[in-house]
Structure 1
C-alpha cells in the first residue's frame, strides 16, 4: 500500500500568478504519484467572502465586492493561461453557483449555516486554478472535492470530524487515484451526514492536512509558509527571534494553544497520536531545512513569547458566601461546550473565578445569562494575552513594567501569562 506525502499551501503562497508559478516549481521538484496537495483560498479571498456574507445577511448590495473577487481570479487566470482555456468557464461557473447561494433567502435563517455554505468557494476556485496550471505545465494531477473526504457533524463554523467515516472515505476514494496521479484538494471544508458543507474553523486548512495525513497513513505532512520555520517569537515584534530546528509535539501543541499563529491549534494532536512528523518550511526558500515537529522528548528551553488578541474575560464573583469554594466547574464547562467557547485560561480563588475565552460574536447578555443566578458577572472584551514559555528574569521584568494595566497574571515554573488592554505593547 502506498504511503502518501501531504503538502499544505496557504493563501499567501498562491496570492498572484508569480506565487502560483513558484508553487508549481516547488512541487515539480518533489513530484510523486502519492503526493496530496491541500490548498487554501488565494490571497485574502476568505476575508473578502466574509465581507460579502455580512452584506448579504444585512440585505445590502454586494455586487461590487463580488465583482472584485471575480476580477481578481480572472486576472490570475489571464496571467497563467491562454484566453481560450477552459479554466475561465470553470471559474465563472463557481461564481454563478456562489451568487445563487447568496440570493437564496432560506439559507439565511441560521447565520452559521449560511456562512458555511458560502465561505469555502475560495478554496474550490483556487484549487481549480492550481490544478489546471499544474496539468498545463506537464504535471498532471487530479482535482478532488474535499467534501467527499472529510465527514463531520453539523456544528457550524467549527465542525467536529467524524474520524471513522473520514478515514473510510479517504482510503476508498484517494488511494486508487494516488496510485496513478497526485491529488489536489481543498483545506477548511467538509460535509455533514445531510450533505451540507461544513467548515473546520478559520485557518483550518492546516487541520485538513493533518486529517488527510492520518487517514491515509502519510509518511509526513509539510506546511509551506512564508517563514523559515517556527520561531520563538513573532519576527515583526522580535527581530532577533530564533528558529527551532526541531520541536517536540507537546511543545508545539502548547505553542499553538496559547496563540502561536504558524500552525492551526488542532493540527498537532492527530499527527502526534499516529507518530507522523510535521515539517514547517518556507515556500520562498524551499531548500532550507525549516522546523520538524515530532517525538523528540524535551526540547531546548528557549524562551517563547506568544501574543493572542481578541479575548474576552468573564469575571465571576460568588453571590452566596455559603457557597465559597463550590464553583461548579462542571456547570462552567458545560456552558462552554454548548456555546462552543474556546477557553484560553481559567483562574480561581475562594470566591472568585475568571474565565478567558476567544471572543465570541454574541452579546454580553448572552454570555452572562447562564451565570447570573450564582455569580455577579462582569465582561471585558478585546483583551490581549501575552504568554511566555520557559521565561527568564528579563521577560518577567519587561512585561511587569505594565502591571498596572494587567487584568490577570498567572505563573508556573514553565509559564507566565498576562492579560492586558489591547494597546500594549
Structure 2
C-alpha cells in the first residue's frame, strides 16, 4: 500500500481539490491511503476560535463563522447540487464544534485546543471524500482518531504503537482507497489528541509503519526537498536524494519540509519517502531512503525564527555542572520549551529555545531564583549542514551574531533579527 499525504496548501480552495483528483488520475490511486490536512490556513483560523473562547467570548461567533463561510464557499464551488449530502455532513461537523464549546467545562487550554482545532481535518477530508466519489473515484472515509491511539498529552501527544498497530492491521483493507486525517489521534477516553503542529507528515509515517507500506509520498507546492527555504534564502537548490540519517539531521535542526518525527518510523522499516510537487506530479522530486547520502553535496541552510536565547550564570560564580544543568533541563521540560542549541562554559550556560507554548515569563521567574539570566527575545537560529567558508560568510553578512557553535559538519549561528 502507498501512503499519500496532501498538506493544506494542496487543498486551499476548490481548484486545489480538483487538482488533487487530477494528481490521483495521473499517478494512480489503487492500494492507496490519503492523509489530508486542514484546508489552507484553517488550522490558524481554528486556533483563533479557541483563543476567542478563552479570552474574548464576544468574538467567538464571528471567528467560527469565518471558518464555516470559508468551507461553504469551497463546497459550493465543488458541488452543483445544493442537496448533495456533503452540505449536511459539513454542517453537522461544525455543529459539533459549537456543541462542545457550549457544554465544555474544562479550563485546560490544550485539551480544548485539541477538541476544536482537529475539526479542520475532519471537514477537509469529508469534502474531499465526497468529491472523489462524485468524480468516479471510489474512496472510503476513515476517522483517524479511531486508528491512532495516544496518551493524553494534548497538543503534543505520544503514540501508543502497540494499540495503534493492532487497530490499523484489523481495520484497514490494503485493497481499498482510503482518505483520512493528518495531525489527529485519540486517548484512552476517546478524546481527540493532536500530534503537534505540522503533524500530518507524522500521521502518514505512523500509518505507513503499521501497514508495512511500500512508500510514503508527501505532496508539496515545491519541487521536493530544497537545500534552503526559498522564503528566506535565494537560489534554493533541489536535493534529489537524501539518506534517512541526513534527513533526520535536517529535520532536527528545523527543515520545514519534513516533520522531525516523520522519519524515524520510516527508517525502522526502510520505507522510502518521496517529496514531490502536486503541480508537476510526474517529476522525480526528492527521495529519502537507506544509504543514499546527499545528492548534490552542497551546504544546506535552515532558519528558525522567533527563538529565545538565554545565558544563565550562577549567582555566586560557582561552576555550572551536572546538578545545575539537570535542574535547568527539568524546568525546560516542565514549561514545555524545545531546546534547539546549548553551549556551556565553567560558570555559564547558554541555550536557544523555542517558546512555542508561551510559557517564557513563568520559566524566567523560576530560573531567576537561582541564576543570573540574560535573555534575548525574537532571535533567529541559523543552521548550515555541510558548511563552507562562503556559506558562513553569506549568513554573517551584516548581522549581529550573538552565539556561534561549530561541529564537524554543522555550524549554528544565533543572530539578532
TM-score norm. by structure 1 comes to: 0.93
Q: 2:59 aligns with which of 44, 58, 61?
A: 61
Match of 2:147 in 1: 149
Structure 1 residue runs of 4 or more that deviate by more than 6 Å after TM superposition = none
Match of 2:388 in 1: 392
1:50 aligns with 2:47: yes
C-alpha contact 1:359 1:382 (8 A) present in aligned 2: no
Residues 14-58 of structure 1 deviation map (CA, whole Å, 9 limit, x = unaligned):
111111111011113333442100000011111111111111111
Residues 112-168 of structure 1 deviation map (CA, whole Å, 9 limit, x = unaligned):
111010000000000000001111111111100010011111111111111111111
**1:272 and 1:106 mapped to 2: Cα distance?**
42
Match of 2:219 in 1: 224
1:283 aligns with 2:281: no
Evaluate the alpha carbon distance shift between residue 76 and residue 297 of structure 1 in structure 2; reply closer, same or farther with a 3 A threshold: closer
Match of 1:15 in 2: 12
1:35 aligns with 2:32: yes
Match of 2:89 in 1: 90
Match of 2:403 in 1: 408
**1:349 and 1:402 mapped to 2: Cα distance?**
27
SS at match of 2:21: helix
Cα distance, 1:296 vs. partner? 2.0
TM-score norm. by structure 2 comes to: 0.95
Evaluate the alpha carbon distance shift between residue 273 and residue 337 of structure 1 in structure 2; reply closer, same or farther with a 3 A threshold: farther
**1:371 and 1:238 mapped to 2: Cα distance?**
36
SS at match of 1:394: helix
1:336 aligns with 2:332: yes
Cα distance, 1:362 vs. partner? 3.5
Residues 350-386 of structure 1 deviation map (CA, whole Å, 9 limit, x = unaligned):
1110121111334544112443443212332221111
**2:103 and 2:159 mapped to 1: Cα distance?**
27
Evaluate the alpha carbon distance shift between residue 297 and residue 80 of structure 1 in structure 2; reply closer, same or farther with a 3 A threshold: closer
**1:213 and 1:8 mapped to 2: Cα distance?**
11
Flag structure 2 segments of 5+ consecutive residues without an equivalent.
Answer: none
Match of 1:122 in 2: 120
RMSD value, Cα: 1.7
SS at match of 2:59: coil
Evaluate the alpha carbon distance shift between residue 412 and residue 172 of structure 1 in structure 2; reply closer, same or farther with a 3 A threshold: same
Match of 2:258 in 1: 263
1:170 aligns with 2:165: no
1:208 aligns with 2:208: no
SS at match of 1:356: strand
SS at match of 2:179: strand
